[in-house]
Amino acid sequence: MKVLMLNGSCKTNGNTYHALEEAGRQLRAEGIDYEIFHICPSPVRDCTGCGKCTGSGCIFNDGGVNEFVAKAKEADGFIFGTPVYYAHPSGRILSFLDRAFYSSAGVFAFKPGAAVAVARRGGTTASLDVMNKYFGISNMPVVTSSYWNIAHGCAPGEVTQDSEGMQTMRNLARNMAWMLKCFESGKASGVSLPALESGNRTDFIR
């Protein structure tokens, strides 16, 4: 089994990366593989809602979105990490995830997801609230920890000094591994995915 992580920071070796790595090391200790996917350093195009998504993802083949979607098809779970600059997730990770989920929501369905927010000080829980919306609209079980999935640090690498934050990352990984193993056992026992309704879209604007 494998967890695909997304680093939403421009800094490939910044605090968001170190928080994800802490979770990754614990996942590996639990027998779960992981990969950290770094969003490209160049600006990320927004989703425009053009409705021209392809079977491979977004019609625009830039920003690494379709590469991520291809990896997501093979992944069993996800952890999305974001730095917090102005009390919300980075604009780049929101643009990236908007395109990934708008074009390929089915790729993520019924796979556990978790969000991680890293900040110097404030805005982490507000950022988690935004990030969790992607899971809530895509039939994804949400993985939690022993505290909100947050860690604090300013200079790159400083987050590793946040002992409670690192503990939270490790417990998040333990919970993710446990959930993945439970799902695998359920599948082996013949438990089917739920049959969902679709088609109803209430619109009160006439």
What averages of pLDDT result for each successive group of 10 residues across the chain (206 residues)?
Answer: 96 96 98 95 90 89 92 98 96 96 95 98 96 97 98 96 98 98 96 91 78
Q: What is the pLDDT of residue 186?
A: 96
Q: Are strands 2-7 and 150-152 parallel, antiparallel or unpaired?
A: unpaired
Q: What is the pLDDT of residue 204?
A: 79
Q: What is the pLDDT of residue 146?
A: 97
Q: What is the pLDDT of residue 175?
A: 98
Its pTM stands at: 0.95
Q: What is the pLDDT of residue 206?
A: 64
Q: What is the pLDDT of residue 121?
A: 94
